[in-house]
Amino acid sequence: MATERTDVVIVGVGAAGAILAAELAGAGMRVIALERGPRHAQADFKAMDELRFFQRQDTRPNPKRQPVTWRPNANARATPLRVLNYGNQAGGGSVHYGAVSWRFHEDDFRARSHTIERYGAKAIPEDTSLADWPLTYPELEPYYDKAEYDLGVSGKAGNLNGQIVEGGNPFEAPRKREFPLPPLHDDQAGKLFDEAANKLGYKPFSSPHAIISRDYKGRAACTYCGFCQGFGCYNGAKSSTLVTHLPLADATGNFRLITLAMVYRVNSDNSGRATGVSYYGPDGSDNTIEAEIVILAPFVFDNTRLLLLSKTAKFPNGFANSSGQVGKHFMAHIAPRVFAAFDDRYVNNYMGPNAQKHSFDEFNGDNFDHKDVGFIRGSNIAVATAGLEGGPIASAMGLVPPPGTPTWGAAYRDFFSKYFARHLVLLSEIENLPYPDHIIDLDPDVKDAWGLPAPRVTYDWHRQNENKQVEFIQPKLEELARAMGAAHVWRAPLGAGQPGPHPQGGTRMGSNPRTSVVNKYSQSWDVPNLFIVGSSTNPSMSGFNPTLTIQALAYYTADAITNRYRKSPGPLV
Amino acid sequence: MTKHDENRRAFLVGAVAGAAAGAGAVATAALVSNSEARTQPEGGVDSLSKAARQGAFFNAADAATVAAFAERLMPGAPGKPGAADANVLNYIDLALAGAYTDQQDFYRHGLAALEAHCRKTYGESFAKLTEAQQDETIRALEEGKAESFTWPQARAFFDTLRTHTMEGMFADPVYGGNKDFAGWTLVGFPGVQLIFTPNELESRQAFARAPVAGLQSKARST
C-alpha cells in the first residue's frame, strides 16, 4: 500500500484526460494520472491484425473482466453488453476511434430554447429532459480551434466567420480559420457519395478527421492502409492523444502516468472536499493518491460508477450527488444503416479511413424545417463500412445479406465473395434526446474482475421522437443508395433497444446546481475541487460524433483551472 | 460457380474416398484421416505425433463434426476456396486451446447436443449425414428448433460456429486458418497493404496486388 501526494490526480488519460494532463502539467502543476489499461508503443500497432484488434477488441475493455450490463426497462434483468466500444489504454478511445472530429452546431448547445423559439413549447416531447447547455458555441469556439490545431484535424471549412465556403459543410457553426490540414484524399466511397448527394441537391463534403492528411508536427501523413477504426494507427497519423498529448505531458517533467491502475473510490474529508483517489495496482496492491484537485476522466459509465461507489455520510446517494442527477439522462446515437451493393464496379471500401468518409448535413440538428415531421432534432448522414472497419471479418459480421439471401452456405459465399469489395454502407447517427428514466446505476448482481459492481444501463431508444426519426431517415438513406447506382439496396436490421455508438450523459452539466451535476467548467457543484469531464457531462447530444467537443471542453476546463481556480480555489460559477 | 460444378466436385471427392460419396468434402477428409489413424500401430511415436497433429483440443470425432459444419457454412467450389481449403478446423481447434479456452465447455456441450440431435433425427453423426441433411440440421439450429440443446441454446451454438468459421476464413494466417490466403482470395481482400495510392483509392476496378499477411511478414522481418 502506497500513498503519494500531488497537485492534480487524473483518472483516465483518454481523449479528454490526456489533454488536461498536458495542459496542467505544462502550467507547472504536478500531475499524476491513473490509467486502467496499458500504455502502448507505436510498434504495438504494426501488427495490423483484424482478429486481434477488431474482432477480439484488444484496444477496448474486455466485457468479461469489465462488464457493463444493460436492460431495456426497470422490470427486466440486466445482462452484460457483448461489445464495449470505448478505450482501454492510455489515449483511451482515441487510439482506436474513427477520428471523426466535428464541432457541434450552434443550436446543439441550446436545443431546448431553439426548438421553443422556432416551433413553440409544444414541440418538445413531454417525456424528454432536454436542456440547454450552460455554455454557448461562441464561448467554446477558441477551444475547438485549439483542439483542431494541437491534434491535427483534416477538413475543409464550410463557414468561415459567417461566410459560406464552397466544398465544406455549409451548416457548420462559424469558425475563425480554416482547418490546419486539407481533407483526406477521396476514395471511391467518398466520390460515389458526393455524386449521388449532389444529384439529390445536398451539399456533401469530406468529413473532418483527426487524421493528418500531410506531415504535421513531426508525424507522418496517413497512408490510407484502412486499418483505422478499431485499430491503433501503425504510423501515428491518427491524432490520438497517445501520440499528440501524452508526449507533451511527458516533456513537462511534471507528469507521471501509472498504468494498469483500477481506481475504485474518490476519497473525501468530513467537509465533503475531495482528498484524492484509491486504486488497485496491477500487483493487487491498494494505493492512495492525495491531491488538491481530483479530475475524473474515464468513459461515461465509470464517471457515474465512481461517484456511486464513493458514497459518504455527507453524500449518501453518491459522491457529489446532492442533486440526485448522477447517472441520469443517459443517451447514445441510434444508427440506422442501409447497404448498397454494385454490379458494375468495385468500391474497395476497405481502403482508407473507415468512419464517415464523406457526409452531408441537411438533416442534422435543426438544419431543416421540422414543422410537419412530427419530431425534433436530426442526424448526420455519411458513407462508411459495414463494421467499424472494412476488412473481411468486420464485413462477414456486419454486412447482413439482403432479405432472401442466407447468412451461410453456397448462396452466402457467392454473395459475400461478389460484394465484399463492391459494397458500401450509408450511415445515420440520430440524436437521442435525454430522458430521466434512461439511467446508469450499479448492477446488484454483476461484478467486475476487481469485485466492484458493474455499471448497469437502463435504456431503450424506442421512444416516440426517436422512432419517428428512424422512419424519416431510412428512406433518405435508400434514396441516396439508389442515386449512387447501386444494384442492390437494403436496410440493416435495427436490433434491440440497447445503446448504440457514443454513449453520453450521467453527470450532466447545467446552470442550476439542483438539476445538474457539474457547471460549465465540468466542476462539481457540490465539491469544488472535483472536476468530472468527458461526454458524461453532455446535457444533450448532437447528430455528430462527440470527441472533438469532449476535447474542446477539456481545454476549456484546463484554462479555467490554470487561470482562475489555481489562484483562487473554489466554485468557478 | 454453377450448381453443376459443385456437384461434380462433391462427386469427385466422394469417389476418391469411396464409401463416403455424398458427404461433404471436409467430412470426407476427416474420415480419411480417421481411417489412416486406425491403420497405425497403437502406442508408437508415430501415432503420438499423428495424434498431436489431429488436434490441440478436438478429438477425431469432434474434429470431423466441426470440419463438416464449417464446410457447410462456407462450402468450397472450384475457384472458390471454402472452410476446408482455409483450414478453418485448425483455426478453431487452436483458438479453443488458446484464446478461447473459456469456450471449451460451450463447444463440448454444443457438440454433444448436436450429436444427440443428429442421432435422434437421422440415426447418424453430423459428419456422416448427406449435405442436404447437414443443411437441414444447421437450419434447425439457426431457427432454434433443435430440442436437444439446452446450454448452449441451438441458435447461440450456430452463431458461434458461424463467427468462428468466419474468423478462420479471414483472420491472418498466423492463427492457423485462411490457409494460403484462401479466405482473402475468395473475397478479393489484399491483406495488409501499408499504402494505398491515390490511383488505387480512386480505382473502380478490382485491386490486383497479391495479399500480404501482416503478422507473418512481421515475424519474418524480425
Do B162 and A227 count as a contact with CB atoms less than 8 A apart?
no
Same domain, B181 and B115: yes
Cell reading at A62: 474486455
Do B186 and A414 count as a contact with CB atoms less than 8 A apart?
no
Do A187 and B202 count as a contact with CB atoms less than 8 A apart?
yes
| CATH code for the domain in which residue A190 is found | 3.50.50.60
Do A50 and B172 count as a contact with CB atoms less than 8 A apart?
yes
pLDDT at B54: 59
Q: Is A245 one of the annotated active-site residues of the chain?
A: no
Quote the CA–CA distance of A420 and A392 in Å, as a whole number. Answer: 7
Run of H or E residues at A111: helix A111-119
Q: Are A299 and A86 in contact (CB under 8 A)?
A: yes
Do B82 and A413 count as a contact with CB atoms less than 8 A apart?
yes
Q: Which residue of B has its CA nearest to A408?
A: B73
Minimal Cβ distance to B138: which of A47, A55, A408: A408
Same domain, B112 and B206: no
Q: Are A348 and A191 in contact (CB under 8 A)?
A: no
Q: Which residue of B has its CA nearest to A396?
A: B166
Do B99 and A55 count as a contact with CB atoms less than 8 A apart?
no
Contact residues, A window 394-423, toward B, CB-based 8 Å cutoff? 395-397, 407-410, 412-414, 416-417, 420-421
Do A224 and B201 count as a contact with CB atoms less than 8 A apart?
yes
Q: Where are the alpha helices (DSSP H) in chain B?
A: 3-17, 25-39, 45-54, 60-73, 83-86, 88-96, 104-122, 131-142, 154-170, 182-187, 198-202, 214-221
Q: Are A368 and B34 in contact (CB under 8 A)?
A: no
Minimal Cβ distance to A408: which of B73, B184, B186: B73
Minimum distance, in Å, between the CA of residue A342 and any CA atom of chain B:
11
Same domain, B166 and B216: no
Beta-bridged to residue A128, according to DSSP, are none
Same domain, B74 and B170: yes
Contacts of A414 in chain B (CB under 8 A): 1, 80
> First CA to last CA across chain B, in angstroms?
41
Q: Are A498 and A335 in contact (CB under 8 A)?
A: no
Query: Looking at the predicted structure, is the pLDDT value of residue B218 above 80?
Result: no
Dihedral of CA A95/A98/A99/A102: which sign? negative
Beta-bridged to residue A509, according to DSSP, are A518
3-state secondary structure of A197: helix
Domain limits for position A342: 3-71+86-565
Domain count for chain A: 1
Domain count for chain B: 2
The angle at the Cα of A548, spanning A546 to A552, to the nearest 5 degrees, equals 115
Instruction: Check residue A69 and give left, alpha or beta (phi > 0: left; psi -120 to 50: alpha).
Output: beta
Q: Are A287 and A306 in contact (CB under 8 A)?
A: no
Q: Which residue of A has its CA nearest to B177?
A: A51
pLDDT at A232: 97
pLDDT at B110: 98
pLDDT at B208: 84
Quote the CA–CA distance of A484 and A267 in Å, as a whole number. Answer: 57
Q: Give the percent of chain B with pLDDT over 90.
A: 68
When scoring B178, B194, B217 by the number of chain A Cβ atoms within 10 A, the one with the most, hence best to mutate, is: B194
Do B195 and A186 count as a contact with CB atoms less than 8 A apart?
no
Quote the CA–CA distance of A458 and A76 in Å, as a whole number. Answer: 9
> First CA to last CA across chain A, in angstroms?
37
The DSSP bridge pattern shows strands A69-71 and A79-80 to be antiparallel
Do B172 and A51 count as a contact with CB atoms less than 8 A apart?
yes
Same domain, B185 and B128: yes
Chain pair A-B, CB pairs under 8 angstroms: 123
Same domain, B172 and B125: yes
Same domain, B96 and B157: yes
Instruction: Check residue B123 and give left, alpha or beta (phi > 0: left; psi -120 to 50: alpha).
Output: left
Quote the CA–CA distance of A339 and B11 in Å, as a whole number. Answer: 37
**Residue A530, CA distances (Å) to A521, A535, A547, A572 in order:** 11, 16, 22, 12
φ/ψ of A51, rounded to 5, equals -65, -50
What is the ipTM metric for this complex? 0.95
Helix axes B154-170, B104-122, angle to 10 degrees: 110
In a domain, A81, yes or no: no
Minimum distance, in Å, between the CA of residue A288 and any CA atom of chain B:
34
Q: Which residue of A has its CA nearest to B135?
A: A409
Q: What is the pLDDT of residues B126-143, one digit of tens each?
A: 999 999 999 999 999 999
Contacts of A410 in chain B (CB under 8 A): 6, 75, 77
Contacts of A408 in chain B (CB under 8 A): 72-74, 138, 142, 162
Q: Are B190 and B184 in contact (CB under 8 A)?
A: yes
**Per-residue pLDDT of chain A in tens (573 residues, 90 and over written 9):** 689 999 999 999 999 999 999 999 999 999 999 999 999 998 899 889 999 999 999 999 999 999 999 999 999 999 999 999 999 999 999 999 999 999 999 999 999 999 999 999 999 999 999 999 999 999 999 999 999 999 999 999 999 999 999 999 999 999 999 999 999 999 999 999 999 999 999 999 999 999 999 999 999 999 999 999 999 999 999 999 999 999 999 999 999 999 999 999 999 999 999 999 999 999 999 999 999 999 999 999 999 999 999 999 999 999 999 999 999 999 999 999 999 999 999 999 999 999 999 999 999 999 999 999 999 999 999 999 998 899 999 999 999 999 999 999 999 999 999 999 999 999 999 999 999 999 999 999 999 999 999 999 999 999 999 999 999 999 999 999 999 999 999 999 998 899 999 999 999 999 999 999 999 999 999 999 999 999 999 999 999 999 999 999 999 999 999 999 999 999 999
Cell reading at B200: 488505387
pLDDT at B213: 72
Do A346 and B206 count as a contact with CB atoms less than 8 A apart?
yes
- Cα Rg, chain B, nearest whole Å: 19
Quote the CA–CA distance of A559 and A26 in Å, as a whole number. Answer: 11
Minimum distance, in Å, between the CA of residue B48 and any CA atom of chain A:
31
pLDDT at B217: 54
Same domain, B204 and B105: no
Cell reading at B181: 490466403
In a domain, A79, yes or no: no
Contacts of A223 in chain B (CB under 8 A): 194-196
* Residue A199 sits at the chain B interface (C-beta within 8 Å): no
Which of A260, A244, A59 is closest to A149 using CA atoms? A244
Exactly one of A105, A333, A423, A502 is catalytic; name it: A502
Q: Which amino acid is at A529?
A: N
Q: Which residue of B has its CA nearest to A55?
A: B167
Same domain, B141 and B213: no
Same domain, B78 and B47: yes
Do A47 and B218 count as a contact with CB atoms less than 8 A apart?
yes
Identify the band that residue B211 occupies on the pLDDT scale cut at 50, 70 and 90.
confident
Same domain, B32 and B125: yes
Quote the CA–CA distance of A333 and A306 in Å, as a whole number. Answer: 24
Domain limits for position B72: 3-189
Same domain, B73 and B48: yes
Quote the CA–CA distance of A439 and A556 in Å, as a whole number. Answer: 27
Identify the band that residue B9 occupies on the pLDDT scale cut at 50, 70 and 90.
very low
Do B196 and A227 count as a contact with CB atoms less than 8 A apart?
no
Total Cβ atoms within 10 A of residue B106: 16
Minimal Cβ distance to A408: which of B162, B198, B205: B162
pLDDT at B215: 65
Contact residues, A window 42-61, toward B, CB-based 8 Å cutoff? 46-51, 55-56
